[in-house]
A and B are shown apart, each in its own frame.
Chain A
Amino acid sequence: MNEQTNPAANIIEEPGERNTRRAFLAAAGIAGLAYTAALAYPVYRYLASPEEMAMNATAVTEVTLKDAQKLPLGSVLMYKFGRSPALLIHHEDGRWISMTAVCTHLGCTVQYEPQADRIHCACHGGVYNPYTGANVSGPPPKPLKLFKVAVNDTGVNVSLA
């Protein structure tokens, strides 16, 4: 029973010792990782704050533009729908059209040109139809998304179509 005088006992014990050592190192490694994660998580969330705020702004489904019903014929109003710029056009024929102003090509802000009666992107020459938002010429791959417009006495209500 005396371990010191029995060499066989030592030989049998060795692998067991190695196992506890390995288990200890594994546990220490996991604890270290957990510790690092506990430090990194607040830092990540802190740096990600503006992104999270922007995501909340994207959740907007409708915008009320006060006094926008006074917009003259043939002119445009730029406003912010959620976090991205948008156009509200009061056409010469009296039609109200609103769509996103973010070019579908590389994300520049487009502009309405009343003389040419078109929507133009100055970055790479993309052209859109000012009534339907359809991409007419140039590099844009997709049309601009239209919003639903409701005009009343106090303003203009724009919402997701």
Chain B
Amino acid sequence: MTSKTVASSVYDWVDERLGLSELAAFARHKTVPVHSQSFWYYWGGISLFLFIVQCFTGVLLLVYYRPGADAYESVRQITFVMNFGWLIRSAHAWAASLMIFSILVHMFSVYFMKAYRKPRELGWLSGMALLGVASVFGFSGYLLPMDELSYFATKVGLQIPSAIPGIGEAIANMLRGGPDVSDFTVQRFFALHVVVLPAIFVPLLGFHLWLVQRYGNAAPPSEEAKPASERKTMPFLPNFLRKDLAMWLISLNILALLASVFPWSLGKPFDPLAPAPVGIHPEWYFMSPFEMLKLLGVVLQGEAGEIAGILLFTLGIVLWILIPFYDRGKEFGQRARAAHYFGLLAVFALLATTVIGYWTIR
């Protein structure tokens, strides 16, 4: 038997049991719309790639990281003692930021292309859930080095749930593992970060990707309006996949550049008696919600104002999540326009509050 016949008989054996040729036939027929906004189709793939990077670098950090009382010392060791540990850690931190960034770009492109409309509502909802889990990933991962910055970021961040009337303090205590951020907090954030969140994220991601396979890429309404003969597509295999992989390579290069040229720093070990360091601020992706709450607090004074602020903020997010059930039409009617302006308002609010947040750092 030649190697070719061996290969084909192995393929036949596996195919008979797993139905590979059905999958291959499905993949051959898969197409991606081609139009002036096709560029935005890559951002979901880039987010996926950065998540894979997070899994790899995360496991590498796990090799030396020790949660609990030893947390800071182990991160110091990773950063300054282990060969290239600084690079692995820096890549993990940078890829986290880049992943949130590309998810946001992906979300807004889906929003403005109205790709959340029927039958893709569940794609939108699962995507929003993924963004939610990704930000909890970011928040919990930020504490793990247990340096000054992460200590205060967590301390401040957990003030937000504790402002919820009645049960808020109980929730915050549950998350913290006591009334203060301590070794217990790192230990449970660690469990959250490496076990609970991946166990939620990965199946959600599988569901999200399955929906993408089922319904394909959505074209913007302007394309949908064209007659079928005028719409252009390209085959997913190999044309789109090749471009997708090229984007992954570009992302990896950007990540490598950022991680090595701007290595992630490690502050002083946390000290519950030390004053907050000057210029402390949340990560860029938390800057906007943080600033919005702060501004609402200025407008709506007092404790009632604080609660009203949180309610208003939550209402905005709920409206955003529920947009597929409001803007359902196929055409670009009044509701579609309203959704469009709501989207522009969200982008503006996000950018403006981020700028104000950085502007007012003392």
> Which residues A34-88 have CB closer than 8 A to chain B?
42-43, 45-49, 52
Asked if B276 is at the interface of the complex by the 8 Å CB criterion, the answer is no
B83 contacts the other chain (Cβ, under 8 Å)?
Answer: yes
Which residue of chain A is the closest to B252 with respect to CB atoms? A39
User: When chains A and B are docked, how far (Å) is the Cα of A78 from the Cα of B85?
Assistant: 34
Instruction: Return chain A residues, CB-CB under 8 Å to B88.
Output: 42-43, 46
Contact indicator per residue, chain B 56-92, by CB within 8 Å of chain A (1) or not (0): 0000100100000000000000000111110110000
A133 CB to closest chain B CB (Å) equals: 36
How would you classify the secondary structure of chain B's contact residues: helix, strand, loop or mixed? loop
A47 CA / B61 CA spacing, docked (Å)? 10
A130–B82 alpha-carbon span in the complex (Å): 40
- Contact between A42 and B81, CB atoms less than 8 A apart: no
Instruction: Give the size range of A's interface with the partner.
Output: under 10
Residue on B nearest A47 in the bound complex, by CB: B63
Nearest to A49 among chain B residues (CB) is: B82
Taking CB as reference atom, which chain A residue is nearest B87? A42
Distance between Cα atoms of A43 and B83 in the complex (Å)? 9
A46–B7 CA distance with the chains assembled, in angstroms: 37
Output the least CB separation between A23 and chain B (Å).
21
State the CA gap A52–B88 with chains docked (Å).
Answer: 18
Say how far B256's CB is from chain A's closest CB, in angstroms.
8
Q: List, in ascending order, chain A residues with CB within 8 A of B60's CB.
A: 43, 46-47
Q: Total A-B residue pairs with C-beta atoms closer than 8 Å? A: 25
Q: Which of B60, B63, B82 gathers the greatest number of chain A CB atoms within 10 Å?
A: B82
**Chain A, interface SS category:** helix
Residue of A nearest to B91 (CB): A42
Give chain A residues whose Cβ lies under 8 Å from the Cβ of B63.
46-47
Q: Which residues of B contact A46 (CB under 8 A)?
A: 60, 63, 82-85, 87-88
A36 to chain B, nearest CB (A): 11
CB distance from A53 to the nearest CB of B (A): 8
Residues of chain B with a CB closer than 8 A to A52's CB: 83
Question: What residue in chain B is nearest A42 (Cβ atoms)?
Answer: B84
Which residues of B have CB within 8 Å of A45? 83-84
Q: Which residues of B contact A47 (CB under 8 A)?
A: 60, 63
Q: Which chain B residues numbered 83 to 120 have a C-beta less than 8 Å away from chain A?
A: 83-85, 87-88
Q: Which residue of A lies closest to B61 (CB)?
A: A46
- A-contact 0/1 string along B35-53, CB 8 Å cutoff: 0000000000000000000
Residue with the greatest number of chain A CB neighbours at <10 A, chosen from B84, B85, B87:
B84
Task: Determine the chain A residues whose CB is within 8 A of the CB of B85 once the complex forms.
Answer: 46, 49
Q: Quote the shortest CB–CB distance from B8 to chain A (angstroms).
A: 24
Question: Bound state CA distance, A89 and B84, in angstroms?
Answer: 43
Minimum Cβ distance to chain B for residue A62 (Å): 25
In the complex the two chains form, what is the Cα distance from A42 to B63 in whole Å? 14
Nearest CB of A to B90, in Å: 11
| Residues in chain B near residue A43, CB distance under 8 A | 60, 84, 88
Chain B CB within 10 A, most for which of A45, A49, A52: A49
CB contacts under 8 Å to A, within B249-290, are none
Q: Quote the shortest CB–CB distance from A68 to chain B (angstroms).
A: 30
Give CA–CA (A48, B85) in the complex, Å. 11
In the bound complex, CA of A49 to CA of B84 (Å)? 9
Chain B's nearest CB lies how many Å from the CB of A135? 38
Q: Is the CB of B87 within 8 A of A49?
A: no
Q: Tell me the complex Cα distance, A158–B85, Å.
A: 35
Q: How far is the CA of A46 from the CA of B85 in the complex (A)?
A: 6
Q: How far is the CB of A32 from chain B (nearest CB, A)?
A: 10
A25 → chain B closest CB, angstroms:
15
- In whole angstroms, what is the CA distance A8 to B85 when docked? 61
- Residues on A with C-beta less than 8 A from B84 are 42-43, 45-46
Contact residues in A for B87 (Cβ distance below 8 Å): 42, 46
Closest B-chain residue to A52, C-beta based? B83
Q: Which residues of A contact B83 (CB under 8 A)?
A: 42, 45-46, 48-49, 52
Residues of B whose CB lies within 8 Å of any CB of A are 60, 63, 81-85, 87-88
Q: Report 25 cross-chain contacts, Cβ distance below 8 Å, ordered by A residue.
A: A42-B83, A42-B84, A42-B87, A42-B88, A43-B60, A43-B84, A43-B88, A45-B83, A45-B84, A46-B60, A46-B63, A46-B82, A46-B83, A46-B84, A46-B85, A46-B87, A46-B88, A47-B60, A47-B63, A48-B83, A49-B81, A49-B82, A49-B83, A49-B85, A52-B83
Further pairs besides A47-B63, A52-B83: 10, Cβ < 8 Å: A42-B84, A42-B87, A42-B88, A43-B84, A43-B88, A45-B83, A45-B84, A46-B60, A46-B83, A47-B60
Counting from the closest, the 9 A-B pairs by CB-CB distance are A42-B84, A45-B83, A49-B82, A46-B84, A49-B83, A45-B84, A46-B83, A42-B87, A46-B88
